[in-house]
Structure formats: structure tokens, C-alpha cells
Amino acid sequence: MEKMISVKNLEKSYKSKKVIKGISFNVQKGEILCFLGPNGAGKSTTINILTGALGYESGEIFYKERKIEKGDRKFKQQLGIVPQEISLYEDITAQQNLRFFASLYGLKGKELNERTDEAIEIAGLTEKANDRVNTFSGGMKRRLNIACAIAHHPEILIMDEPTVGIDPQSRNYILSSVKKMREKGTTIIYTTHYMEEVEEISTRIIIMDKGEIIASGTKEKLKEEIVNDKRFVIEVDDLDKVNLEEFYNVEGVKNAKIEGGKLNITTLTGVENLDKLIAILVNSSVKINNLNCETASLETVFLNLTGKKLRD
């Protein structure tokens, strides 16, 4: 898979405090790479360095194997940036905002008109194109902000907490748009405080804490490697027939108990033993009414790694 961005041994300090501590990572073409971390972990600092908004003391950044120098215009032309704070001119229309921001990337004439119409349609704001932005809701402003970042068809879209403080409908619209942009080939770097967003859109995750990368991988890989348990919740017709001690003879079983009127069995993720658990119940003439397998959530992974909630 083609590397769009490579970051090597990146370091950044504010005064005497080192906030980015020699991190290295790659961004692959066509992925949605989500950054997670508690407040102060270094996510936004890393994003701001990638966009060129911040400098750094040491390390290297490459775009398609070419080293990025300070003020590299060719690299910046390939970026679309959606900042945490909404960046729009509120006393002019949505269309005028789009035309202005798209023109900064050299778009003009017919191409400018076509890209403006396309971007405002993606944002679901076609009917509001000629309305002033100061009449928009927070969700509409967020969607327009994204439209302004994608009108020039960037190869890489950087989105720093793009759904903060908006209504659920706008959030769902933005997440759906992000997935569609990825399907069209856009590479996306995404930071958020909402774990459910990462569950829905990420193809890979980087977890940061105290300026360091402490874990990375797909959500499935992280759940399996960090929290090595899964739980079977089984509803049966007669709990009195269940002998919990029998389950401890099965390889991988860590715990078996009755909870909430259901049989709960915790077992190691890498051990395939469901057939043996079912066999114990069948041999005891226990009828199974329902069975669910519950794996660790990203929230559990995050707490195990950092000891904090995401917003701490």
C-alpha cells in the first residue's frame, strides 16, 4: 500500500516541556486514520505540525517519500484542512465562502464553479447556497467548513474534531460523507473525542498519551491484543441444571457465573472453545434460548492503556 505521509522521530516542545516525544507513523493511501488520546496527549499538536501551522524541533516528515520542508507549497496544495474551530466568513453566503477558499488553491473559471457546486452538494447545503452563514445552525456551519476543505479535491483530508457541538443529524451526515470520500480515494486523518465515531469510520487507529504513541492498529487488532477476553452471554431454560465448575475444565475459560438470570462465561480471545461450552449444556439437558458473544469495546481498550477516560 502506498505511503502518503511518513513521520519519523518527530519532537516538539513548548518552552521547556516536550509535548511530542519522538513519534513515528505512516499514513497509507485511502485509509481513515483516527487519532485518540486524552486531553494533552499531543493529538492536535501533531495535526498542526502536519498542516504546517506549527514548527518542530527535530524529526522528518515525508510526502510520498519526498521530504517536506518548511512552507512546502506543493504538499499544502494536496491538503484539505478542517480545524477544530469553525473558520468561515459569516457575513457572506455559503457559496461565496466556498468560492473564496477554493480560489486560494488556484481554482478559477468553469472549474471553480463546478467544484463549488459539487462541494456544497456534498455538504447537503445546495438549497442554502445563497444564504448568509450567520443564519446557519452549528451543524450547517460544520458541514460548510468541510465543503470548503474539499472543493479543490485534496489527496489528504485532515479533520480535527469536526463534529464537536453539533446535532446528531449533522454528525451522521458528516460521518457518512467521510466514508464516501474515502471510497473515492481520499486519505483521511481524523481526531475526535467520540469513541463511537472511531468505531464507525476508522480503518486504523493511533492512540497517544503524554506525547507518545502507545498503541496502533485496526480496532479489531487493538481489542484482541490489549483486552484478551471475550464473554459469552447465554440464556437457558433452566439455570438450576447448570454446573459452573464444568466450564473451568475447558481450555481458555477464565470465569463462569450466573448474572442477571443469564450464564456468563469469560474466555480468552484466541481460544476457540464455544463448541465445548455448548456441549456441556447439551449433555446436561439444558436448552439454549439465546447466545451472544461480547468483545471488548474501544473504551475498554483506551482505559486499559491510559487509565483515563477519553475526555480526561
Type and span of the H or E element at 299: helix 298-306
Instruction: Compute the distance between CA of residue 166 and CA of residue 138 in angstroms, rounded to an integer.
Output: 6
Helix-then-strand count for the chain, H and E:
11, 14
Burial 142-153 (b: 16+ CB within 10 A, else e): bbbbbbbbbbbb
Measuring CA to CA, which residue among 201, 176, 197, 193 is closest to residue 84? 193
Beta-carbon contacts of 73 under 8 Å, excluding residues fewer than 6 positions away, are none
CB 138 within 8 A of CB 130: no
Instruction: Compute the distance between CA of residue 129 and CA of residue 206 in angstroms, rounded to an integer.
Output: 37
Question: What pTM value is reported for the model?
Answer: 0.83
**Cα-flanking dihedrals φ and ψ of residue 304, to 5°?**
-65, -35
**Cα-flanking dihedrals φ and ψ of residue 287, to 5°?**
-85, 130
Total residues belonging to the chain: 312
Instruction: Compute the distance between CA of residue 187 and CA of residue 291 in angstroms, rounded to an integer.
Output: 39
196-202 contacts: CB < 8 A, separation 24 or more? 197/34, 197/163, 197/171, 198/34, 198/36, 198/298, 199/298, 200/175, 201/32, 201/34, 201/175, 202/32, 202/33, 202/34
Measuring CA to CA, which residue among 195, 241, 245, 205 is closest to residue 226? 205
pLDDT value, residue 311: 57
CB 210 within 8 A of CB 200: no
Spans of the chain below 50 pLDDT: none
Q: What does DSSP assign to residue 114? A: H
